Amino acid sequence: MDQLVEVLISPVTSQANQDDKPYGCDICDFRTVSANDLRKHMKTHAGEKPYACSLCDFRTIYPSGVRTHMRTHTGEKPFACDICDYRAAQQGHLQMHMRSHTGEKPYTCDVCDYRTTQLTQLKTHMRVHSGEKPYSCGICGHKTGLKKDLVAHMWIHTGEKPFTCEFCEAGFRSKSHLKCHVRIHTGERPYPCDICEYRAKTSSRLKRHMNTHTGSSQRNLDQSEPPPSIGIDIKREYQDETYELQIASTETHSAIQK
């Protein structure tokens, strides 16, 4: 391996040799001004990680990486935001955080208008266009582009419902489902109809309600008259909510019996 590294760290003799970074990696696009830095970089390809954490299995190619990693054990966060109370263990994390204040989104998708603050988020987004789904379920073969989606999918097999309603203890597999359910208890209706006074608890119910107005703008309906669809939709929502509460009560009772 040492001989291979010596070959790969030789200064390139192409036009790139005239650049400010004459030492280039033959495996990737990494370039540097120092042969020593290139030697360190080559360890990333060789898989060599000589520096180890004394508290866990973490290993790295740089001694500075161990010092930074140790902050995960000590809780030390020496890098502070001068705008809010945020503190970080790494300077790079603070730099990314600062973009939440400045609004800077330097990473852009070359296919659509998506912009983000982090390169990792852009790489994940690109799977929307490429169709890449690197995470797969070992039970049913379900594939997804996001690791968190795979974790949520596994709850279907395990039966786990980690998001619990504070009012009736009903369990859900996603925060969004819990958020919609809680509106049954609070009465919140954040989705208003722009034609009548109807308000819905979910966007899907608003879309269903809007079907009752099909063609209403062409007929120039008198908006001072309450449309009959309001009563119909409220009755339908009451039936839906009664059913949901019955299901939640049954699941909660079953959980207690277990």
Q: What is the CATH number of the domain that holds 178?
A: 3.30.160.60
Q: Are 91 and 148 members of one domain?
A: no
CA distances from 235 to 39, 232, 239 (A): 71, 5, 6
Burial class (CB in 10 A: 0-12, 13-18, 19+), 45: middle
Is position 217 within any domain? no
Q: Are 252 and 185 members of one domain?
A: yes
**Residue 142 contacts residue 136 (beta carbons within 8 Å):** yes
Burial class (CB in 10 A: 0-12, 13-18, 19+), 137: middle
pLDDT of 126 reads 94
Q: Are 66 and 98 members of one domain?
A: no
Is position 96 within any domain? yes
Is position 225 within any domain? no
Q: Are 244 and 178 members of one domain?
A: yes
Q: Are 92 and 26 members of one domain?
A: no
Is position 38 within any domain? yes
**Residue 172 contacts residue 181 (beta carbons within 8 Å):** yes
pLDDT of 241 reads 52
pLDDT of 246 reads 52
**Residue 203 contacts residue 190 (beta carbons within 8 Å):** no
**Sequence-distant contacts of 37-44: CB under 8 A, at least 24 apart:** 38/8, 38/9, 39/5, 39/9, 42/5, 42/8, 42/9
pLDDT of 46 reads 78
Is position 223 within any domain? no
pLDDT of 186 reads 92
* CA count, 13 A, side-chain hemisphere, 56: 10
Q: Are 158 and 207 members of one domain?
A: no
Q: Are 113 and 44 members of one domain?
A: no
How many domains does one find in the chain? Answer: 4
pLDDT of 251 reads 47
Is position 221 within any domain? no
How large is the C-alpha radius of gyration of the chain? Answer: 28
Residue type, 174: S
Q: Are 194 and 242 members of one domain?
A: yes
Q: Which two tokens mark 162?
A: 């980690």
Q: Can you give the residue range of the structural domain that contains 156?
A: 133-164
Tell me, yes or no, if the pTM score tops 0.75. Answer: no
Q: Are 46 and 60 members of one domain?
A: yes
Q: Percent helix, strand and coil across the chain, each rounded to 5?
A: 45, 10, 40
**Do you know the residue count of the chain?**
258
Is position 23 within any domain? yes
Is position 95 within any domain? yes
Q: Are 187 and 237 members of one domain?
A: yes
pLDDT of 15 reads 47
Q: Are 125 and 103 members of one domain?
A: yes
Q: Are 113 and 36 members of one domain?
A: no
User: Which residues of the chain, if any, have pLDDT below 50?
Assistant: 1-10, 12-18, 216-235, 238, 249-258
| Rounded distance between C-alpha atoms, residue 14 and residue 244, angstroms | 69
Q: Which two tokens mark 196?
A: 């009548």
